[in-house]
Amino acid sequence: MKTLILISSLILICNNAFATYYLVDKKGNVIDKQETAYTHLTGLESRNEIQIEGDDIPIKEAEYKNGKIKMYTKTNAEVDSQKIKNDRENENTIINTRIRKLAIDSLKAEGVVFNHVSQ
């Protein structure tokens, strides 16, 4: 019996040693994360916040859904929007590089000397 109690205690300690706790506000946003349970639960209740135990997920990627903390996954619309944004930035970089090169070449042809400008 003592062995059973000892093993149960060790399992309980080990489980809590690797727990991660998240604070979720009344809108369902994950607002904080820490490795130990929040001890001031009355303060949480007064602010309509709840404490949720979950896997260790970076807070910027954590999402509260169906009563659990999960890794946030982007929607197809968000993925498409990010791709369009990246493509636009790449195109602008190409255009700006070309415009800069043409401007420098044109000014050099006019005899302008650059001491601090590189191509």
For the chain, the three-class secondary structure string (H helix, E strand, C coil) is CHHHHHHHHHHHHHHHHCCEEEEECCCCCEEEEECCCCCCHHHHHHCCCEEEEECCCCHHHEEEECCEEEECCCCHHHHHHHHHHHHHHHHHHHHHHHHHHHHHHHHHHCCCCCCCCCC
Average pLDDT of span 76-86: 96
Residue 40: its pLDDT value, please? 72
Per-residue confidence (pLDDT) for residue 37, from 0 to 100: 82
Whether the per-residue pLDDT at 2 is higher than 80: the answer is no
Distance CA 34, CA 52 (A): 11
Kindly state the average pLDDT of the residues 86-101: 96
What is the C-alpha separation between 16 and 36, in angstroms, rounded? 8
Place of tokens 């493509």: 87
What rounded mean pLDDT belongs to the chain? 85
Tokens of 49: 């916040």
- Alpha-carbon distance of 116 to 23, in angstroms, equals 53
β 30-34/50-54 pair status: unpaired
For residue range 9-56, what is the model confidence (pLDDT) as tens digits?
555 555 545 689 999 999 999 999 988 887 777 778 888 898 999 989
